[in-house]
């Protein structure tokens, strides 16, 4: 996780990633109404090797963020996303 991602999600910057519970709070912040869009972005990255989109999130402290996902699939030697 990058320092910018720590900052955006409200975690103290550091080399240690958030705990599973903390990460779960972030996923909950996205809200169930946004998961179809998030999954669409993931599937687009797998299919097209790139995806770009945004969704709102309310973090555990109550702050609101607009999260932008820019995904680049990583291909193996055969060109399949791994």
pLDDT single digits (tens) 11-61: 777 767 667 676 666 667 778 888 888 888 878 877 887 888 888 888 777
Domains of the chain, by residue range, sit at: 3-72
Distance CA 28, CA 60 (A): 9
Is pLDDT of 1 > 60? no
Q: For the structural domain made of 3-72, what CATH number should be given?
A: 4.10.470
**pLDDT grade, residue 4 (50/70/90)?**
confident
DSSP string, 21-53: HHHHHHHHHH-GGGHHHHHHHHHHHHHHSEEEE
Distance CA 60, CA 73 (A): 30
Distance CA 57, CA 63 (A): 8
In this prediction the pTM is 0.57
């Amino acid at each position: 996780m990058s320092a910018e991602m720590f900052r955006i999600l409200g975690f103290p910057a550091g080399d240690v990633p958030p705990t599973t519970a903390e990460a779960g709070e972030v996923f909950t912040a996205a809200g169930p109404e946004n998961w179809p869009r998030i999954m669409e972005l993931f599937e687009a990255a797998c299919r097209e090797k790139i995806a770009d989109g945004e969704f709102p999130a309310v973090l555990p402290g109550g702050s609101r963020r607009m999260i932008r996902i820019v995904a680049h699939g990583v291909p193996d030697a055969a060109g399949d996303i791994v």
